[in-house]
């Protein structure tokens, strides 16, 4: 398996634009996590899904952020409209819950909003 | 509420020095515990994990961690660090009956030759 795949790796966009980050989890994994990493706040859990259903989105900063998981092999994190303070590295991770396995991380998307 | 606290934000050591990074968690139930490492510019990789059994777990690259249930702690140790251990280290906890994985704020380790 190629691991968790995120795209794009880097994204530079202007304030106010819509940004969509994509994630393909490891095949067979049933949990998917979106994290945001910044120097100031560290690694924050934004939302996680289990069997494609959002379980906890309490970490989503505000209504500008939304996440979907239409099927077991794909998830998106959308920011609309984007703001400079959204600049961060966004990581996606997947795991196989109930099987005592760890979460595997993607390479991350470095987002810069100018 | 579920939380993880890492006491050391930045640690600077010389090669061959011993390392111990603190991690305490808060959770009202049985937990799974993890240490991840993030090398500069890279994604997080698993260093070691504890699910059950022997509270002293050994991971890759000579790292180990001890789960002390009474202290809600899962400290990371390495007897002799190397320059290549320079990285950021994250402690994480997931409730046994949930898959919500929460990370500490991380500890930046710098090892000088």
Average pLDDT across chain A, whole number: 94
Q: Does B9 touch chain A (CB under 8 A)?
A: no
> How close, in Å, is residue B103 to chain A by CA atoms?
6
Q: CA A63, CA A81: separation in Å to the nearest integer?
A: 10
Q: Can you tell me the mean pLDDT for A69-82? A: 97
Share of chain B above pLDDT 90, in %: 79
Per-residue pLDDT at A98 exceeds 70: no
- Per-residue pLDDT band for A19 (boundaries 50, 70, 90) equals very high
Give me the pLDDT at residue B7, please: 87
pLDDT, tens digit, 9 for 90 and up, residues B42-68: 999 999 999 989 999 999 999 999 999
Per-residue pLDDT at B103 exceeds 80: yes
Q: Does A42 touch chain B (CB under 8 A)?
A: yes
What letter would DSSP give residue A25?
Answer: P
Per-residue pLDDT at B2 exceeds 70: yes
3-state secondary structure of B62: helix
Burial class (CB in 10 A: 0-12, 13-18, 19+), A104: buried
Give me the pLDDT at residue A99, please: 67
């Amino acid at each position: 398996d190629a691991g968790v795949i995120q795209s794009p790796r880097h994204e530079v966009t202007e304030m106010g634009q819509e940004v969509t980050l994509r994630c393909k989890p490891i095949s067979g994994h049933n949990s998917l996590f979106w994290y945001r990493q910044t120097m100031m706040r560290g690694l924050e859990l934004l939302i996680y899904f289990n069997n494609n259903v959002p379980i906890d989105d309490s970490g989503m900063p505000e209504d500008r952020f939304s996440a979907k998981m239409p099927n077991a092999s794909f998830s998106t994190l959308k920011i609309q409209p984007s703001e400079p303070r959204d600049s961060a590295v966004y990581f996606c991770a997947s795991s196989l819950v109930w099987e005592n396995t760890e979460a595997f991380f993607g390479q991350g998307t470095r987002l810069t909003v100018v | 509420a579920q939380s993880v606290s890492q006491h050391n934000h930045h640690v600077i050591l010389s090669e061959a020095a011993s390392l111990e990074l603190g991690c305490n968690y808060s959770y009202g139930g049985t937990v799974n515990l993890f240490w991840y490492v993030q090398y500069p510019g890279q994604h997080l990789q698993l260093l070691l994990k504890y699910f059950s059994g022997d509270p002293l777990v050994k991971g890759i690259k000579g790292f180990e961690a001890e789960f002390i249930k009474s202290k809600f702690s899962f400290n990371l140790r390495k007897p002799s660090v190397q320059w290549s251990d320079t990285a950021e280290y994250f402690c994480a906890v997931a409730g046994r009956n949930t898959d919500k994985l929460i990370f500490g704020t991380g500890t930046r380790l710098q090892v000088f030759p």
